[in-house]
A = this chain, B = another copy of it.
Amino acid sequence: MNFCSDNTTGVAPAILAALAAANEGRAMPYGEDAATRRFEAKMRELFETDLAAFAVMTGSAANALALACLAPPYGAIYCHAGAHINEDECGGPEFQSGGAKLVGLTGEHGKLDPRTLSEAFKHAGKGDVHRVQPAVVSITQASEAGTVYARQEIAAIAAVAHEAGCALHMDGARFANALVHLGCSPAEATWKAGVDALSFGATKNGALAAEAVILFDRTRAAEFAFRRKRSGHLLSKMRFVSAQLEAYVTDGLWLALARHANRCAAELADGLAAIPGVELRHKVEANEVFVTLPEPALVGLESAGFRFYRWHQGPAGTVRLVAGFDTRPEHVREFVDTARRFCREASRTT
């Protein structure tokens, strides 16, 4: 009954089976294999465009390598102050880029606001040798607050970014969860809305360790290949990463897995919101629920065996609950029931 994070999940059965299947015989190393060719073709098909696709094994690598290809060492990367790249990767983008600067902007519900961005650019000192130079805007889809950028919101940010000469990067660690919410095509949610580079996450949603960097603008593809190798992210037995990604997008598996997780999160949110004294912090649009409960209810849930993270933002009693592709509906119901019970008791005793 672990609601800590979707990265506590294991591997979806179809993906594990694909790994086993990929183990037939020998294959040439470093991506010179058939599985990698198929993964690349799948990506082009999925996004309905020519593109360069590179597989790596962590989201941190995907983000930092993509950003390093888009920003010079004296560049600035604009993002939400709470973005994973800014807060949770131990300076990974700074490292891979050779010291680019992340500029964290505030924004409601985990989302970057195009007006805030536009305002920031006004003071960015474009062309001023004393200032780091605007190079990339990075947004997280779904956001760190579990909200999802609408296509028009992406397009509005893309317009501001491109106007400033910046590329638009999307950290799609939970891209599948966002796409299920949007209900549009992968192309519509990305390059058609102005996204230049996408970190296409699979690990949180059922892969063992597999993320793809999608460069819709192929001009940086050669550079990416060298940066990936140089940073130790080119696997010799690459077929086993490619096979995960191939299986992930085959027959809509990725969307089915995300749909399940989103549904569990929605049920959690609906159930909890109906409890007096419980307050949702953000709209639940993907697979994450940020919610404030009375402290005794949290203690009760913990003692009942539920695991989740106390959140560092929001009022006391705020927690994050994440549903995964494998979350069991009965655990969701049990969580809500337990929360309701402890909240009721808590309200009685006060």
By a beta-carbon cutoff of 8 Å, the part of chain A in contact with chain B is 2, 4-5, 7-11, 16, 19-20, 22-30, 56-62, 64-65, 72-74, 87-92, 94-102, 123, 129-133, 203-204, 208-209, 223, 225-237, 240-241, 312
Contact = CB atoms under 8 A, between A and B. Distances in A.
Given A10-B25, A19-B16, A23-B16, A72 B226 contact: yes
Given A19-B208, A29-B7, A73-B91, A229 B99 contact: no
A77 B117 CA distance: 24
A131 to B, nearest CB: 6
Contact of A232 (B7, B9, B26, B64): B64
Contact of A88 (B102, B131, B209): B131
Copies in the complex: 4
B209 A240 contact: yes
7 contacts: A8-B26, A9-B237, A19-B19, A89-B230, A89-B232, A95-B231, A133-B226
B233 A58 contact: yes
B90 A100 contact: no
A30 to B, nearest CB: 7
Contacts of A4: 28
B101 A94 contact: yes
A99 B94 contact: yes
Given A19-B19, A73-B230, A204-B236, 20 more contacts: A7-B30, A8-B26, A11-B240, A60-B229, A61-B231, A64-B232, A74-B91, A74-B227, A74-B229, A87-B130, A88-B131, A90-B132, A91-B100, A92-B229, A92-B231, A97-B99, A99-B99, A133-B226, A203-B236, A231-B232
Nearest to A98: B98
A95 B236 contact: no
Nearest to A12: B23
Contacts of A61: 231-233
Given A102-B101, A227-B74, A129 B94 contact: no
Contacts of A209: 57, 235-237, 240-241
Contacts of A7: 29-30, 236-237
A30 B91 contact: no
B99 A234 contact: no
Given A8-B29, A24-B10, A60 B16 contact: no
Nearest to A133: B226
B91 A101 contact: yes
Contact of A229 (B5, B65, B130): B130
Given A95-B99, A203-B237, A230 B90 contact: yes
A331 B26 CA distance: 13
A97 B64 CA distance: 17
A95 B95 CA distance: 9
B26 A9 contact: yes
A102 B241 CA distance: 31
Contacts of A30: 7, 129-130
Given A4-B28, A28-B4, A90 B229 contact: yes
